[in-house]
Structure 1
Amino acid sequence: MVSISLCMIVKNEEAVLARCLETIKDIVDEINIVDTGSTDSTVEIAKQYTDRVFFFEWIGNFAAARNESFKYATKEYILYLDADDVLLEADQRKLEELKETLDPSVDSVSMYYDAGTDEFGNVTLRYRRNRLVKRAKNFVWKGDCHQYLEVFGNIINSEISITHKKIKHSIGRNLNIYQSKIERGDEFSARDYFYYGNELRENGHYEKAIEAYNDNIALLEGWIEDKVYSCINKADCYRHLGDLENELRSLFQSFEFSKTPRAETCSRIGYNYQRKREYNAAIYWYNLATQLVPESDRWSFSYPAYYTWYPHLQMCVCYYNLGDFSNAYNHNEEAGKYRPEDLKILHNRKLLEGKLGIGQGI
């Protein structure tokens, strides 16, 4: 059985830290917590779980803080979590099994990061991260914002998920880090442009976000998956700006990089046509989305809703507008399999049962 050091960086996480540690404390062999300047009771809570609490002055660089936390690890492998992450019970069992069976020749184990869930427990955003890494390899974090762990060697993919349960959002924090990079005259990589675009988009600066995404796309360097989502996210910006034609153009541009359709794109194309009342075209793209399956080993973002309930619910609306109440009902029921208590779906069911005479002895 391998041994595991948990390494975390925290700041003012009194509301969530204990929740996180309760889900992992009985699995790891060591807990290292680096505080970067808490003014609440975070440190006191941390000390209830470990005597290995350290301090590091925040310098506006997440990679530097994470690298500092890794320095304190003494076990064979390092696991990192954020304070608002948890392991659900099923994933705790999977991690325990992995710990007992992991071949020590493995340098890194990737796990799913379920970065969002809806009110019905469906995962809304998922991607992979190198999550458990061999300490002896001295892997290094890079990037002052949206940092990544540079990993190489014998990497395996697991079915374990780390679930993100955020209760607050640091508005503008990451955007300020990128703006500081610009003021310093730092050269942006393709990755920087992509994540800078994301921060701009999330803060409502859509025109500037489009520029950043175009800068990413224009560079020959960079991860192809970031270019796929630069196109998709650029389309979202155009949608917010009410520019349906450039939205659609950006969505089709994503095919230049993805090569094959993805439900994240198809569902958006469907919605573009739906808003223009071109319902048959919309249905075509929504139906295609339901036939696609996200790749389990894909490392980039995956939004399961676009493969499952969302296109079915939208096809319900489209078929209703075409007067095809039978197909509208069937697709509403498919959506309901994923969101059985969704008020929209319940409303649609009652409406369509009335249209079709279901339950009225007809």
Structure 2
Amino acid sequence: MVTVSLCMIVKNEEEALHTCLKSVHDLVDEIIIVDTGSTDSTQEVAASFNARIYPFEWCDDFSAARNYAFDQATQEYQFWLDADDILEEQDRLAFLDWKKQATVSYDSITMDYVLSVDEQGQPLYKLKRNRIVRRDRRFRWIGFVHEFLHVTGSTFHSNMAVTHKKTRAYTDRNLHIYLQHREQGTVFSERDHYYFANELYDNGRILEAIQQYEHYLGLDQGWIEDRIAACFKLADCYAHQGQKQEQRMALLRTLNLDVPRAQFCCTFGNLFIEDEQYTQAIYWFRQATLIEPPQDVMALTNSSYFTWFPHLQLCLCYDRIGDIEKAKSHHRIAQLHHPTHPSVLYNEQYFAQLEQK
């Protein structure tokens, strides 16, 4: 049995925080809440779960706040969450099992971070994050925004998951922090350059995002998964601008970094569908069905590219070239993975009508 401190930073999260703490309060041995300036009843909600509450003067630095929260912990392990995260019931049970059986042997324990789910509640986008770390290792957070926990030593990759339940509308807060730091002459890390580009993209500043992604990729540094993701996002930017050739070239840059990913094959296949070149599209979607997820367990994955989506597109392509039997075959596979998707439901009705003729 090990002991665990839950460490969180919050601001004006009264509704989300109640849902979060309700899902984890009985799993941990203490709750540390660092409040960065709430004006609602966030602190009252935290107090109702017997949390220890610490005010923190906000300084546009997420790592500073998270490190302060970690500094208040007293238990063997530190476990961090955001206010809009929860543990689903199966993960609550898994957490309890881990806690009962664990010893202070691993320096870090990763958990899946489920960013979105399908209609059946199955994960679509997910990645692993270092969620639970030994307090005596004094690991620190790095980065003023889009911060990360820098860990070393032994790591256990668990099957437990944290599920993101975002309720707030997207804001430009992080973008303004980056812009302020740029104006102040802050030296950006390669990771900062990547996430700054993402913020520009997410806020609709597409031309600036293109410049920033190009700059980041030109550094030829950083985590390979970030660099591959930057190529895909750069391709999206060029698509938004109607620059199809540049979009293709951005996608092809992923091949300089690793073997083809299923996402590359599907995205490239879609370009051929747009040009009504269905035979070429079939080639790429068939390749997608043969590709395994990335080997790096920490990488962001979208299960759609490895399951139903390439078969959905193969169904379309084979129908367009008149091979109805192959179209039906791939429809059945897509249906097996995602029976409630609107396109799958449409195709089911479409094939039923064909059989009646």
Report if TM-score (shorter chain) is over 0.5: yes
> Which residue of 2 is the match for residue 262 of structure 1?
261
Deviations 1:121-144 (A, max 9, x none): 232211111110000111110101
> Which residue of 1 is the match for residue 346 of structure 2?
347
> Which residue of 2 is the match for residue 291 of structure 1?
290
SS of residue matched to 2:91: helix
Deviations 1:114-162 (A, max 9, x none): 1122333232211111110000111110101100011101112111111
TM-fit CA distance, 1:271: 0.9
Distance, in Å, in 1 between the alignment partners of 2:17 and 2:295 is 30
The 5-angstrom pairing of residues 205-216 of structure 1 reads 205-216=205-216
TM-fit CA distance, 1:28: 0.7
> Which residue of 1 is the match for residue 314 of structure 2?
315
> Which residue of 2 is the match for residue 237 of structure 1?
237
Instruction: State the identity %.
Output: 41
Deviates more, 1:87-96 or 1:118-127: 118-127
1:112 aligns with 2:107: no
SS of residue matched to 2:234: helix
Distance, in Å, in 2 between the alignment partners of 1:353 and 1:125 is 32
Q: Residues 200 and 156 (structure 1 numbering): CA distance in 2 closer, same or farther, change over 3 Å?
A: same
Deviations 1:137-193 (A, max 9, x none): 111101011000111011121111111011123321111111111111112221111
Letter of the structure 2 residue corresponding to residue 140 of structure 1? R
Structure 2 stretches of 5 or more lacking a match?
Answer: none
Distance, in Å, in 2 between the alignment partners of 1:285 and 1:205 is 31
TM-fit CA distance, 1:296: 6.5
TM-fit CA distance, 1:297: 4.6
- Using the size of structure 1 for normalisation, the TM-score is 0.95
TM-fit CA distance, 1:81: 0.4
Distance, in Å, in 2 between the alignment partners of 1:112 and 1:81 is 12
Deviates more, 1:128-137 or 1:222-231: 222-231
Give the alignment's Cα RMSD to 1 decimal. Answer: 1.5
Distance, in Å, in 1 between the alignment partners of 2:326 and 2:66 is 52
Asked if the contact 1:269–1:285 (Cα under 8 Å) also holds between the matched residues in 2, the reply is yes
Letter of the structure 2 residue corresponding to residue 32 of structure 1? I
Distance, in Å, in 2 between the alignment partners of 1:264 and 1:170 is 25
Asked if the contact 2:33–2:51 (Cα under 8 Å) also holds between the matched residues in 1, the reply is no
TM-fit CA distance, 1:256: 0.7
Q: How many residues were matched structurally?
A: 357
Letter of the structure 1 residue corresponding to residue 164 of structure 2? H
Distance, in Å, in 2 between the alignment partners of 1:148 and 1:56 is 19
Deviations 1:47-92 (A, max 9, x none): 1102411111111111111111111110000000011111111111
> Which residue of 1 is the match for residue 270 of structure 2?
271
Asked if the contact 2:30–2:51 (Cα under 8 Å) also holds between the matched residues in 1, the reply is no
Q: Residues 257 and 295 (structure 1 numbering): CA distance in 2 closer, same or farther, change over 3 Å?
A: closer
SS of residue matched to 1:114: strand
The 5-angstrom pairing of residues 79-228 of structure 1 reads 79-228=79-228
- Using the size of structure 2 for normalisation, the TM-score is 0.96
